[in-house]
Structure 1
Amino acid sequence: MTLVAHLTELRNRIAKALLALGLGTIAGFLWYDHGLLTFLSEPYCSLPAELRFQGDDNCRLVVLDVFGGVLLRLKIGLIAGAVLSSPFWLWQLWAFITPGLKRNEKRYAVTFVAASTSLFALGAVLAYVTLYKGLELLLGLAGDEVAFQLTAPDYLGFVISLLIAFGLSFELPLIAVALNLVGVLSHAALSKSRRWIFFLTIVFAAFVTPTQDPFTMLAMALPMVVLFELAIQVARVVDRRRAKRDALEHFHGLSDDEASPLDAGPSAVDTAPTPPGALLAEDPAPADRAR
């Protein structure tokens, strides 16, 4: 394809992706009043009643300006629409990139996309599960005489930032695996830096978590440590296979007068069969034996 044809295809696929995003945003905008807002506010509404200021028996979030509710609904609808339409716009991206990839590169790309999606979802689910404990700890530190009435933009922005922070953080070990697959980062370097990786992971979790409480920090750091250890073990297997493959390629590329790189120890020499010609050459002639 020519450059103009590539640009035309890119324009068409971006237009289709934006159309899918717009339809997803409309669906998220309509979903806002039919379960989405309840789902996002459930961790706050599940807190003990003494931590929340309630004018009535219902759990309500507050909006302090006229356009705050509309902007909040559009923001939540856009984020929900991006999630709902992600299969379609990711497919448009994949269809644009695929013709330029080889078969093994396509296989790696599919595996990488599936793993990154699963890790992001795992991080978001873990963030939502730990959100209740984090809020209870943070709001409880203010004392028994203080009750909170959170504004909807602040609270929902906090929840979304926590979900995104957990989801993106769980992608970091996958990036280490990807760097190892392309040969930039070796298992030896990862294994040697294991303690520093674990320490920096804890520091990273302390700065990234919006709540910055010990419970949420450990809830992010401990799974990331496990994932980094898994990434180190994957790098060990990949480097071992790569070394074996390189040795075989080097062996097949040798000329007739070059020594083999394979390690032939004494045991291999002793157990190797002796050619019949060598036995005849070493066997003394009958006349010599008679002498």
Structure 2
Amino acid sequence: MSNNKIVKALKEKTQNLEAEMSFFDHIEILRWHLIRSSIAIVVITIFVFVYYDWIFDTIIMGPKKPTFWTYRMLCKLGEVLHRPGFCIDKIPGKIINTEMAGQFTLEINSALIIGITLGFPYLLWELWRFIKPALHEKERKAASGFVFYASLLFILGVLFGYFIIAPESISFLANLSVSKEIENTFTVDSYLSSVATLTLATGVVFELPILIYILSNLGILTAAFMRAGRRYAIVIILIIAAVITPTPDMLTMTIVSIPLFVLYEIGIVVAGVVEKRKQKRAEEELA
């Protein structure tokens, strides 16, 4: 009996060691995926450093200039609609640096933010390579376009945030004045933080269909549930639009809300497709 207990204890110990080895092996594999992603982000960041003068003047400071693409398009739209108020020809407010190492920190932070943003699709691809071996063949096929669609939605969100939300918000806040005695003067950190937050937050929000796809696969969300909750979703979307945009004007909130409504409707279609796939899979298993 004692020998049997010893043998059993040894077997259990061996199984535990194998499980621990397997866990640490997975951690090691994940570590290398993250290392490669970090290297890619560092390479992009270095590239940004090399061309930083042009990137700063053209991209980072773009929404502060009246010649920015968005403002020019609004002027043209105002001409077509005979609404001269649409045209933004002045962005008041002086941007200053208040810290000794402020400009150096600005260069590092802005280059790193751009590096992470541009490296995000590659980071997704590395994470997909890590997760893929653990999936079944059908699950791999079902999620085969995950990296492409997630990257596409993120990029579309970033572009929408940069060209629509950021300039509208900056224009509103720069022109806002409660008294002639107060002059608008912004720190460069505040400006960069506003542009980066508005841009990246919109990129994350645009991942809504991907989130719905995951929740649908887990059985948490259904197309019928989303259709029934559409009225509540409208309220939530308006709240999200109000949070994303620091401006209280209805025009900016409406501009932000419309793509979110579209994404929600796309999410309903995605949830419906997932349900059909599940039903088809269940029928094949029963056949």
Report if the CA contact (8 A) 1:173-1:231 is conserved: yes
Task: Structure 1 unaligned segments of length 5 or more: list them.
Answer: 55-60, 253-291
Q: Which residue of 1 aligns with 2:37?
A: 17
Report if the CA contact (8 A) 2:209-2:270 is conserved: no
State the alpha-carbon separation in 2 of the partners of residues 228 and 191 from structure 1. Answer: 10
Q: Secondary structure at the match of 2:232?
A: helix
State the alpha-carbon separation in 2 of the partners of residues 227 and 192 from structure 1. Answer: 16
Which of 30, 46, 49 lines up with 1:26 in the alignment?
46
Is 1:123 the counterpart of 2:123 in the alignment? no
State the alpha-carbon separation in 2 of the partners of residues 241 and 107 from structure 1. Answer: 11
| Offset from partner CA, 1:264-290 (integer Å, 9 cap, x none) | xxxxxxxxxxxxxxxxxxxxxxxxxxx
Is 1:99 the counterpart of 2:99 in the alignment? no
Task: Structure 2 unaligned segments of length 5 or more: list them.
Answer: 1-20, 68-87
State the 1:42 CA deviation.
1.4
Structure-2 change in CA distance of 1:210 and 1:105 (3 Å): farther
Is 1:52 the counterpart of 2:88 in the alignment? no
Q: Secondary structure at the match of 1:107?
A: helix
State the 1:104 CA deviation.
2.7
| Offset from partner CA, 1:162-210 (integer Å, 9 cap, x none) | 0011111111233123211332212221111111112211112112323
Decide which structure has the larger Cα Rg and report it: 1
Query: Structure 1 residues 86-95 or 114-123, which shifts more?
Result: 86-95
State the alpha-carbon separation in 2 of the partners of residues 225 and 215 from structure 1. Answer: 15
Q: Percent identity?
A: 31
Aligned residues: 245
State the alpha-carbon separation in 1 of the partners of residues 57 and 222 from structure 2. Answer: 45
Structure-2 change in CA distance of 1:236 and 1:83 (3 Å): closer
Q: What's the TM-score, normalizing by structure 1?
A: 0.73
Structure-2 change in CA distance of 1:84 and 1:245 (3 Å): closer
Is 1:133 the counterpart of 2:175 in the alignment? no
One-letter amino acid of the structure 2 residue matched with residue 137 of structure 1: F
One-letter amino acid of the structure 1 residue matched with residue 103 of structure 2: G
Q: Secondary structure at the match of 2:144?
A: helix
Is 1:177 the counterpart of 2:213 in the alignment? yes
Q: What's the TM-score, normalizing by structure 2?
A: 0.74
Report if the CA contact (8 A) 2:157-2:205 is conserved: yes
State the 1:143 CA deviation.
6.4
